[in-house]
Structure 1
Amino acid sequence: MNTKYIDLIQQTFDFPQEEFQTRNNTLWFHKVDLMKLVYEYGSPLKFTYLPKISENIGRAKEWFSLAFQKHNYAGKYFYSYCTKSSHFKYILDEALRNDIQIETSSAFDLDIIGALKQDGKIKDSCYILCNGFKREDYLNRIIKLINSGHKNCIPILDNYKELGLLSSNINDEFQVGIRIASEEEPKFEFYTSRLGIGYKNILNYYHREIENKEKVKLKMLHFFINTGIRDNAYYWNELTKCLNVYVKLKKVCPTLDSLNIGGGFPIKTTLGFNYDYQYMIDEIVGLIKKTCDEANVPVPNIFTEFGSFTVGEAGGAIYKVLYQKEQNDRERWNMIDSSFITTLPDTWAINKRFIMLPINRWEDEYERVLLGGLTCDSDDYYNSEQHVNAIYLPKYNKEKPLYIGFFNTGAYQETIGGFGGLQHCLIPNPKHILIQKNEQGEITTKLYKEQQTSEELLSILGYEMSQEGFIDINRTSQKRIPSDLNEQ
């Protein structure tokens, strides 16, 4: 009878997989020994495997190149990274090694662009696509960037007011895009996206506000839907409506030469993940070419904006199971040494799934469990009711510590969780490790940020106390407290 955890995984999924293998009873991720990370840095910890960023950018470029060849497509392809997925400099540094463009969504994003330009990481030829609803600070930074000579900064118009504010303050000719306010998925709470301008209004808006302004050149039509690029009737219907607007605009606007089909490529959230990226890109490129050929207009350059696809599969988190609480005859709670609410906020905010696997003890027998975080909040958990499939892990044994990992967590979790700021119940941010490859292809690791300290959190809260003001636990305690519950 197969009762080991590794037997369960191999019977349920095609395993091992490209990024996951086991050696000597432990899990390896992209040939990185995760237990070695635990021994060196402890837990909880977060890590970023930087080579995955360049790998995914290269894969997408290759897929589009093959699709362009297949359909004899005359346009160019531009890969853009959405900074909102992760603003960290080490992420942008890695991504910008791959000749990409940048998409921004807020005022401070433009300060990041300025810093990267100073470092020589971004050239004037790089397209900066400025999305989102633009308040005064955001508009002023866009104006400053364009007036400084960065002509490939393209504000994507989100509403009717933005163009007037831009044109009255930008000195010379500049380019703009228009975002389409797409229809939301039928089950959504409202019908039309709050972002952009409606399908039926775009052509009239162009004639009224852009056509006769010599300084303003419409370059791009921007299309994005919230559910991402998926092979269903809803996606193809919205893309077809977008293309109909594009060909109508192109016939009256010779400067329009680019179509931004947004982002939304899914990433792997289960070992059973199955998505044919090449097929979807082939179909998209083929539909664009067919629509343009039938309308007798040139095909557009294609821009994509990939955020989660760029960074999501580079991230992970490792926790230790501190203790098991048996609350009734069938619920066993494995308590981790951190919090889901603070370190993986999408797991409770939008019930997002991540790949979860044990780091060690793969040869042990398994059991069904629930996972609980450290905060005193009922929502700080990760279980089968939230996440479809039951959670199975090697059986709890206080003599044999168990470590678990969550994978492909690299997008949004740090910014939504408030990296370096206040955390729910003052649970500190874990330490963060960067994993890279050197010139010889060898894996190297370095500590990016230590775990948050009490002093850092209390300073944010206004408790500016001298060191003497804190309780010296080592001096006042008469008996050492166990470092974790396994010592009890």
Structure 2
Amino acid sequence: MNTKYYDLINQTFYFPQEEFTLNNDNNLLFHNIDLMKLVEQYGSPLKFTYLPQISNNINRAKGWFRKAMEKHNYPGNYYYCYCTKSSHFEYVMNEAFKNNIHIETSSAFDINIVENLLENNKINKDTYVVCNGFKRDQYISNIARLINNGHKNTIPVIDNYEELDLLQEKIEGKFPIGIRIASEEEPKFEFYTSRLGIGYKNIVPFYRKAIQENKNVELKMLHFFINTGIRDTAYYWNELSKCLKVYINLKRECPTLDSLNIGGGFPIKNSLTFDYDYAYMVDEIINQIKIACDEGEVDCPNIYTEFGSFTVGESAGAIYKVLYQKQQNDREKWNMIDSSFITTLPDTWAINKRFIMLAVNRWNDTYERVLLGGLTCDSDDYYNSEQNLNAIYLPKYNKEKPLYIGFFNTGAYQESIGGQGGLHHCLIPQPKHILIDRDENGIIATEVFSEQQQAEDVLKILGYK
């Protein structure tokens, strides 16, 4: 009879998988890293970032686009941009920009990061800086400073009609711009059209009125982004088709237009059953763009993407210890973890986001169905089958044999939304965070990025010290 946790995982999913395997002690390995050894060395709760996975995903995407462009004899270039809002941390930037990529910004302080990267030779004058987002005084001033100081590959993407005038007031000489399309949202959305960008029907008239005879600007890019991401749905292909019609009509009147930014939105693995054919999607996107441009008798554009979650999401994880089990009724067992989901994985609480969740140890033990509870007194501080897609099964609680659990592919947004180094709900401390890297010989090296938050840190923020 198959009653062990390993049996459950093995008969439910294809296991082992590329990044998940077991060692001889029936402990979980992540990219061949023994997670129990991390716990023994650093304790729990623990956050970690496996830096090589950032480069791995960047180069996977570059490969898909290269192969698709070769297959379809696509004449344009491909530019991979990292979307900084997914994770602004220096260790992410340092790893990402080892791979000859470009950068997409969304707010004023992003430009300060860009300037720091330039100063430290992480990026150079050939790096494109695509400036998205709704722009007001500080963001406009920072973009202007970057361009005026000589970074000519900075492309502010116009989000609303007023931004063009604001930029021209601050920027000296001629500069390139892009225009963002306000795409229509999926029918199930609460609103009809994205709040970002300019409507499909208004882009060509806006070009004629404000850009065509304007000696100060040069339109280079049309920006297209779908909130639900790049997925093989009728909705996505329909919106891409509408975008290409705008591009073709605009290109016929604007010879300087040479780039199409198809935004971000590649999904990341959120379950062991995850199935997404990245290569097919890239191939079909390139194919559709080339067909449309050939039929419209215009030159094919250079392609830009802005992958944020895809770049960094699959590089990180969190490990918790099950402290105690509470039997609240005849059916529900609550495994209480040594941290808070609201504090450390806020998307599980805010948008019911799913992450891969697995036991770290005791895979050879029998299992039981449980709910997971965080340490705060908030009734929403839990993780259950609503987020996890399936009921949660873990090795049976045994106070004599501590159980550790891991959440994986948590690298995008969680530190920004949860607040690195700040205050957290019920003053639950921020966990220790370590960075994991490999040298040229594949030897693993770890270092502490931030220690677990102490009472003194919190009291200082609150004004007690």
TM-score by length of 1: 0.95
CA contact (8 A) 2:355 2:388 kept: no
Matched-pair identity in %: 71
* 1:440-451 paired onto structure 2 within 5 Å: 440-451=441-452
1:398 match: secondary structure: coil
Instruction: Name the counterpart of 2:368.
Output: 367
Cα distance in structure 1, aligned partners of 2:294 and 2:389? 45
* 1:273-288 paired onto structure 2 within 5 Å: 273-288=274-289
Instruction: Name the counterpart of 2:172.
Output: 171
Cα distance in structure 1, aligned partners of 2:227 and 2:458? 35
Cα distance in structure 2, aligned partners of 1:31 and 1:327? 38
Cα distance in structure 1, aligned partners of 2:414 and 2:388? 18
Q: Which amino acid aligns with 1:430?
A: P
Cα distance in structure 2, aligned partners of 1:140 and 1:350? 34
Instruction: Name the counterpart of 2:401.
Output: 400
Instruction: Name the counterpart of 1:3.
Output: 3
For structure 2, the 5+ residue unaligned runs are: none
Cα distance in structure 2, aligned partners of 1:185 and 1:290? 25
1:90 match: secondary structure: helix
Instruction: Name the counterpart of 1:77.
Output: 78
Cα distance in structure 2, aligned partners of 1:323 and 1:22? 25
- Comparing 168-177 with 285-294, greater Cα deviation is found at 168-177
Cα distance in structure 1, aligned partners of 2:464 and 2:162? 44
2:170 match: secondary structure: coil
Q: Which amino acid aligns with 1:53?
A: I
Instruction: Name the counterpart of 1:50.
Output: 51
Q: Which amino acid aligns with 1:134?
A: K
* 1:101-116 paired onto structure 2 within 5 Å: 101-116=102-117
Instruction: Name the counterpart of 2:352.
Output: 351
Cα distance in structure 2, aligned partners of 1:116 and 1:457? 31
Instruction: Name the counterpart of 1:30.
Output: 31
**Per-residue deviation, 1:124:** 1.2
2:161 match: secondary structure: coil
Instruction: Name the counterpart of 2:18.
Output: 18
Instruction: Name the counterpart of 1:256.
Output: 257
**Per-residue deviation, 1:89:** 0.1
1:270 match: secondary structure: coil
Cα distance in structure 2, aligned partners of 1:287 and 1:407? 34
* 1:120-139 paired onto structure 2 within 5 Å: 120-139=121-140
2:176 match: secondary structure: strand
CA contact (8 A) 2:103 2:129 kept: yes
**Per-residue deviation, 1:379:** 0.2
Cα distance in structure 2, aligned partners of 1:135 and 1:170? 14
- Structure 1, residues 357-398: CA drift from partner, whole Å, max 9, x if none? 000000000000000000000000001134331000000000
* 1:234-313 paired onto structure 2 within 5 Å: 234-313=235-314
1:280 match: secondary structure: helix
Q: Which amino acid aligns with 1:214?
A: K
Q: Provide the aligned C-alpha RMSD in A.
A: 0.6
**Per-residue deviation, 1:168:** 2.3
CA contact (8 A) 2:74 2:300 kept: yes
Instruction: Name the counterpart of 2:322.
Output: 321
- Structure 1, residues 259-293: CA drift from partner, whole Å, max 9, x if none? 00001000000000000000000100000000000
Instruction: Name the counterpart of 2:189.
Output: 188
For structure 1, the 5+ residue unaligned runs are: 465-488
Cα distance in structure 2, aligned partners of 1:2 and 1:152? 60
**Per-residue deviation, 1:21:** 0.1
Instruction: Name the counterpart of 1:484.
Output: none
- Comparing 203-212 with 161-170, greater Cα deviation is found at 161-170
**Per-residue deviation, 1:135:** 1.1
Cα distance in structure 2, aligned partners of 1:174 and 1:386? 46
Q: Note if 1:215 corresponds to 2:216.
A: yes
1:335 match: secondary structure: strand
CA contact (8 A) 2:352 2:386 kept: no
TM-score by length of 2: 0.99
Tell me: CA distance 1:436–1:386, structure 2 relative to 1, closer, same or farther (3 Å).
closer
Cα distance in structure 2, aligned partners of 1:280 and 1:165? 38
